Amino acid sequence: MIPSSYPSQEEMARLTARMLWEIGAVHFMGDEPFKLASGLPSPVYIDCRTPISHPRIRSTLMDFLTVTVMRNAGFEAFDNIAGGETAGIPFAALVAERMALPMTYVRKKPKGYGRNARIEGKMTEGQRVLLVEDLTTDGGSKLSFVDAIRETGATCAHTAVIFYYGIFPETTKTLGDHGVELHYLCTWHDVLAEAKARGGFEPATLAAVEAFLEDPRKWQAENGA
């Protein structure tokens, strides 16, 4: 089923943040900061793999992501949906099902045997590919996947994620310079707004999170980066 009519982007952002809280995907720092994939510290962490175990929320998020992409990029903008290994694979499959399109996935590196391929599934020259992942921080990890897609002769000008940190100003430039537009459902600002609405968090915890969101590089420098 291809969704076509859903709430505004602002309402989808609020509901996405609420759903992430409901399933325990949002984590605030305890005694020690979290370490991001980049190796840098953070007082907050989102586990966007969690929704795959919650069918109602998983389905709603994928409806939201599909309609967001179609609203922003067009209803006939893609020929293939590619998931980034590993977290993007289930979400790409669900989006592909909704859009009635072929699904592929992109390995982080060649598997080292057989065809030594990075692309699994059928991707052909000239196809317009949407890269789907769970989240993005500064956008850098997407570039390798995009390059692997383009090496097949396909094009990749869009990537879609459930969660975008929304605090690193270089993200859209990094992706834009590579010819890629980012689509997402919510950011840390939406999640923090939902945290305040829910209550129950220590003022010191919220203060640390707000300090990080206002100037993440400064916070990281002061906390062991």
Q: Specify the amino acid at residue 16.
A: T
CA angle centred on 150, ends 177 and 134, rounded to 5°: 70
Which residues carry a binding-site annotation for 5-phospho-alpha-D-ribose 1-diphosphate?
Answer: 107-108, 111, 133-141
* Strand, helix or coil for residue 29: coil
Which residues carry a binding-site annotation?
Answer: 107-108, 111, 133-141
Closest CA to 188 of 117, 147, 127, 135: 135
Which residues carry a binding-site annotation for orotate?
Answer: 137
The token pair at 6 is: 């859903």
How do 128-136 and 103-106 pair as beta strands? unpaired
Task: Check the CA dihedral 96-102-108-113 and report its sign.
Answer: positive
What is the number of residues in the chain? 225
Instruction: Dump strand ranges (E) for the chain.
Output: 26-28, 34-35, 41-42, 44-46, 80-84, 103-106, 119-120, 128-136, 155-164, 181-186
Closest CA to 167 of 205, 136, 204, 197: 136
Q: Using CA atoms, how far apart are residues 219 and 221, in angstroms rounded to an integer?
A: 5
